[in-house]
Every structure is written in structure tokens, then in C-alpha cells.
Amino acid sequence: MSGHSKWATIKRQKGKADAARGKLFNRLIREISIAARQGGGDPEGNPRLRSAIATARGNNMPNKNIDNAIAKGTGQIAGVTYEEAMLEGYGPGGVAVLVELTTDNRNRTVAEVRHVFTKAGGNLGAGNSVAWMFASKGIIRVPKENADEESLMEIALEAGADDMVLDGDTFEISTEPPAFESVREALEKAGVKPESAELTKIPENTVKVEGETAARVLKMLEMLDELDDTQRVYSNFEMSDADMQAYGNG
């Protein structure tokens, strides 16, 4: 079981989904604001903003919050200006770790991330020390009960998806980043409601960890995920269901 699509499972197992809603909204607001600042406040002409709004609505964010985030990004409402950053390095067992962040104080954010890496027995690396191990992909997950497999695959592939696989009780559709929005929109037009849809990073290879090392990796990812400035955490770990469940129930 590799880390690229399973970290959310761990967080659900630990029962933090409801408690984390405020943090999720904060992340989405930052993403909307940055997208609006970089590409303008009209989602029709700004694919990144359109994707961010769709994700926010999919997570039941009120329209007022979305509108305010766009206004802050375009400068219509005064607010903190965030910049994007990516930090990377190695965790326990030699697993590669990428952390996408938005920050208004880069020095503070770097110090916080470095502290987590050090505390976990890992080390923060230079730029592109591990980023080259990951490929950017769009991943759309649709519960099996929400769609017929044959019809779903036909819709996805015709819209430009690369592949679709069944992962447990969920269909996982993968796309290249340029095709992500067209595939998501095709599903919406067909009345298919995804469980999640995101641009993410997939490891080209994985590192297997077990037992105590597996627990240390997951603890490190959890600590990184809980930092205020963290947007997403990626890793190339691979571990057994038993090790994941043992941590999730811990």
C-alpha cells in the first residue's frame, strides 16, 4: 500500500475528519486566493481557480467564504498575502517526503518544517533532492456505488483520462494535469459525484517500511500535515495494511 493515495485513509482512521474541517477550509481559502491573485478572479478564464472553487464546494464551503477568498486574492479586500513554497527531504527508513505550503513568513515555515524532519529522524534537503521522484497527476476518486464501471470508464477516457482502476470500494481515475478539469467537468455533466478530485504527485518508485519505522513515518507525516502552513504532504512510502491499521487505531 503506497503513500500517494492512502494518507487521507490514515487521517480518517484516526477520526480527525470533523475536527480538521476548519483547517481544510483554511487551506482551500489560501488556494483560492493564490489562484485568483495569479490568474484573475474569473473562474471561466482561470482553470486553477475553477478547480479550487469546485473542490471548496465539494467540501461544503459556503459561497460567501469562496467570494471573500477571491476578493482577497484580487486585492478587492485587504488581507494577508501568501506565497507558495515546497520543501523536501527524507524521513525514517529513507522515504522521500514533499511538503507543499502557503506562507506569509517563509523563515518561520522553513524552521517549523525542519523541526519536524529533525524530530522524526529525517533531514530536510535542498530543492529537487526528492521532487524528481514524483510525477504530477490528476486523481479523481468515485465511490463504486456512485457509478457503473463501464460507463464511468467510457466517460473518463473520452474526456482525456489516462486510466481507471478499482481501489477497494472506489474507482480511481488518473489524468495528466492539463486534462484534469475536462475529466472532472465531464463527470459532473454526467451526474457523477466524485468523493475527491485533486492535482497531486505520484511517486515513480516506492520504499517499503515496516513495524516501528512505518509508525515513525506516519507520525512524521501527521506532524507535517498539522502545521498551519501545510497544504499537502506527499511521500513514497509503501507499507502493509496491518501497519497502517495499527497506527490508525493507535
Q: Where do we find the cell 471573500? A: 68
Residue 17 pLDDT greater than 60, yes or no = no
Q: DSSP string spanning 174-209?
A: EE-GGGHHHHHHHHHHTT---SEEEEEEEESS-EE-
Give the pLDDT mean for 204-231. Answer: 93
For 227-236, give one letter per residue: b (16+ CB within 10 A) or e. bebbbbbbbb
Please give the pLDDT value at position 3. Answer: 47
Please give the pLDDT value at position 1. Answer: 37
Percentage above 70 pLDDT, the chain? 90
Give the pLDDT mean for 31-50. Answer: 92
Give the pLDDT mean for 125-141. Answer: 92
Please give the pLDDT value at position 244. Answer: 82
Please give the pLDDT value at position 20. Answer: 60
Distance CA 199, CA 17 (A): 20
Distance CA 51, CA 228 (A): 22
| 61: CB partners within 8 A, 6+ apart | 25, 28
Give the pLDDT mean for 196-204. Answer: 89
Q: Where do we find the cell 465531464? A: 186
Q: Quote the CATH superfamily of domain 7-74.
A: Integrase, N-terminal zinc-binding domain (1.10.10.200)
Residue 34 pLDDT greater than 90, yes or no = yes
pLDDT tens readout for residues 53-90: 988 888 889 999 999 999 999 989 887 888 999 999 99
Domains of the chain by residue range: 7-74
Give the pLDDT mean for 153-181. Answer: 93
Contact yes or no for 102/26 (Cβ under 8 A): no
Report how far Cα 45 is from the mean position of its chain's Cα atoms. Answer: 23
**Per-chain mean pLDDT for the chain:** 88
Q: DSSP string spanning 19-68?
A: TTHHHHHHHHHHHHHHHHHHH-S-GGG-HHHHHHHHHHHHTT--HHHHHH
Residue 19 pLDDT greater than 70, yes or no = no
Which three three-digit cell numbers place residue 104? Answer: 506569509
Amino acid sitting at position 142: V
Q: Which residue has the higher pLDDT, 80 or 190?
A: 190
Give the global pTM. 0.83
Residue 127 pLDDT greater than 90, yes or no = no
Contact yes or no for 121/216 (Cβ under 8 A): yes
Residue 43 pLDDT greater than 50, yes or no = yes
Distance CA 105, CA 83 (A): 9
Q: Which residue has the higher pLDDT, 126 or 59?
A: 126
Give the pLDDT mean for 163-177. Answer: 92
Percentage above 90 pLDDT, the chain? 65
